[in-house]
Amino acid sequence: MSAVVLIVEDEPILGRNMRTFLNARGYRAELAASLGAAREMWANLHPDLIFLDHNLPDGLGLSLIPEVRALDPWTKIVMLTAHGGVNLAVSAMKAGADDYLTKPASLDEIGLTAQRMMDQARKEGAARYINRLDREAAGLDRLVGTSPAMGELRRRIRALHAAEAAGSPPPVLILGDTGTGKELVARAIHYGGARSAEPFITVSCATLSDAMVDDQLFGHERGAFPGAEERRLGLIEAAHGGTLFLDEVAALAPAHQARLLKALEDGRIRMLGAVEDRTVDVRVIAATNAPLPELVRDGKFRADLYYRLAHVTIEVPALAKRGQDVIQIAETILADLQTRLGRPKLCLSKDAEAVLLRHRWPGNVRELRNMLEQAAFLSPRDAISAGDLPIQGMEVEPPSDDPDVEPGLEAVERTLIITALRTHKGNVTNASASLGISRDTLRYRMEKFGLKRDFYTG
């Protein structure tokens, strides 16, 4: 289906040339020579793109921008300005135009601008679709677990949602070890609140290079620096109306902390190469695994930014402190793997559950997911056993003197190997295959546990 372009231009020759040129390139282009005609055609056509002249017989084209924006925020608008009309271009951008062209513009320039606007519209449409999918899959029900720690976490998130419904949402600082699911908590806060239909933009502060951080956060105008061939929104403005999630915020350098703080306090940003500030409305959620109070004390993190971010603090519990939650989370991960791998019977055996419950999980939920994915990919059986788990280097709780406490990982592993050797009468090849490990790995384990193959051949 062809993109619809409305040309609002009262110069007959220019308007007809633009229409002919764009139609020849696959667009459905229509021409309006006045504001009145433009309003009528816009209501009937619902165009994807508007080329808008300013000086029209019945008024100023600039007045049409807020009318269009009020009814359709997604239509692309390009303002046509006279040579040297910098003030008009700035006013148009502030009113909601997406770009501008200086007249007289060549037909090639018009074609390139139309293509750029349509490319941008497709990307934004895809982003809205992904946002809708995220909204459907990021509620409180995604925070799996019935442990007291998770119950308290959900209670605090519900309190935030209630506060947001009553007024402006407060900034939130999420604390937790690596892999605990801080971004999942941030998404639950956003998608359960009043801004759920608006963007959720993640800024990975640890990956922002010093050279590009201002461009990434604040964006740039066309021509702001060599190679800046088109205007690009920064991540802060991309989150306008929604949530800006600052992941690993402690990684920001002090100079960038200062610029971020000013933007958050003023609610205004200035793109690189711009002459005026732009108003932004964002809700801020930050996350870190670093001890921010210590960094503030040592002068490595700004105290004013810390207090700006930490209006509400939420701590995500480590997986090792969540007890039986690990099994529920594992089952959720396996349900996803069942679909992805086309293996609807994929499950955990009891011995595998025992291993998971005894593990200390230094990598938290991320480690659990990686472990189960590896086991599912490599195991030929639907029931993942302890032998399928990548157990090398795993940290386990020390043995307990309490006879009612389940045995540790090594005890479980030793029992599994003995059972496999007995079943296969000491045949290392068959025993290793049944355990889902290599023969060399089995031989290493047998030597470690002092097990002799000959003992089981009888």
Q: How confident is the model at residue 455 (pLDDT cuts 50, 70, 90)?
A: low
End of a domain among 124, 155, 185? 124
End of a domain among 276, 297, 317? 317
Percent of the chain with pLDDT over 90: 46
d(CA 220, CA 215): 6
Question: pLDDT tens-digit profile of 391-448?
Answer: 644 544 544 444 333 444 566 677 778 877 878 888 888 887 777 677 767 777 787 7
What pTM value is reported for the model? Answer: 0.60
The neighbour count for residue 346, using CB atoms within 10 Å, is 22
Supply the CATH number for residue 233's domain. 3.40.50.300
Is 130 inside a domain boundary? no
Whether residue 296 sits in one domain with residue 208: yes
Give a three-class secondary structure readout of 237-290.
HHCCCCEEEEECHHHCCHHHHHHHHHHHHHCEECCECCCCCEECCCEEEEEECC
Whether residue 425 sits in one domain with residue 343: yes
Which structure tokens are listed for 376?
Answer: 């599912």
Domain span holding position 54: 4-124
In sequence order, the 6+-apart residues with CB closer than 8 A to the CB of 156 are 312, 314
Is 262 inside a domain boundary? yes
Q: How confident is the model at residue 450 (pLDDT cuts 50, 70, 90)?
A: confident
Whether residue 171 sits in one domain with residue 62: no
In sequence order, the 6+-apart residues with CB closer than 8 A to the CB of 110 are 18, 21, 22, 51, 101
Whether residue 141 sits in one domain with residue 90: no
Mean pLDDT calculated for residue range 60-79: 89
Mean pLDDT calculated for residue range 373-377: 89
Block residue for tokens 């964002």: 282
**Higher per-residue confidence, 404 vs 16:** 16
Whether residue 303 sits in one domain with residue 172: yes
Which structure tokens are listed for 85?
Answer: 């009309």
Question: pLDDT tens-digit profile of 151-191?
Answer: 999 999 999 988 888 777 899 999 999 899 999 999 999 98
Which structure tokens are listed for 456?
Answer: 């089981």
Is 34 inside a domain boundary? yes
Whether residue 86 sits in one domain with residue 175: no
Is 344 inside a domain boundary? yes
Strands 283-288 and 243-247: parallel
Whether residue 312 sits in one domain with residue 177: yes
Percent of the chain with pLDDT over 70: 89
Supply the CATH number for residue 415's domain. 1.10.8.60
**pLDDT above 80 for 68:** yes
Is 207 inside a domain boundary? yes
> Under a CB-based contact definition with an 8 Å cutoff, are residues 444 and 437 in contact?
no
From the CA atom positions of the chain, what is the Rg in Å?
Answer: 30
Block residue for tokens 């055996």: 349
Is 129 inside a domain boundary? no
DSSP E strand stretches across 322-364: 347-348
Question: pLDDT tens-digit profile of 225-252?
Answer: 888 778 888 899 999 999 999 999 999 9
Supply the CATH number for residue 116's domain. 3.40.50.2300
CA 208 to the chain's CA centroid: 15
Res 208: pLDDT: 82
End of a domain among 101, 124, 147? 124
Range ranked top by mean pLDDT from 125-129, 137-141, 347-351: 347-351
Whether residue 337 sits in one domain with residue 313: no
Whether residue 219 sits in one domain with residue 174: yes
Whether residue 311 sits in one domain with residue 263: yes
Res 412: pLDDT: 64
Give the DSSP H/E element, type plus range, for residue 100. strand 99-103
**Residue 19: exposure state from Cβ atoms within 10 A (0-12, 13-18, ≥19):** buried
Whether residue 267 sits in one domain with residue 171: yes
Question: pLDDT tens-digit profile of 313-362?
Answer: 999 999 999 999 999 999 999 998 998 888 999 999 999 999 999 998 98
The total number of structural domains in the chain stands at: 3
The neighbour count for residue 113, using CB atoms within 10 Å, is 20
Is 200 inside a domain boundary? yes
Is 307 inside a domain boundary? yes
Mean pLDDT of the chain: 85
Angle, vertex CA 86, rays to CA 83 and CA 90, nearest 5: 140
Res 135: pLDDT: 52
Whether residue 44 sits in one domain with residue 65: yes
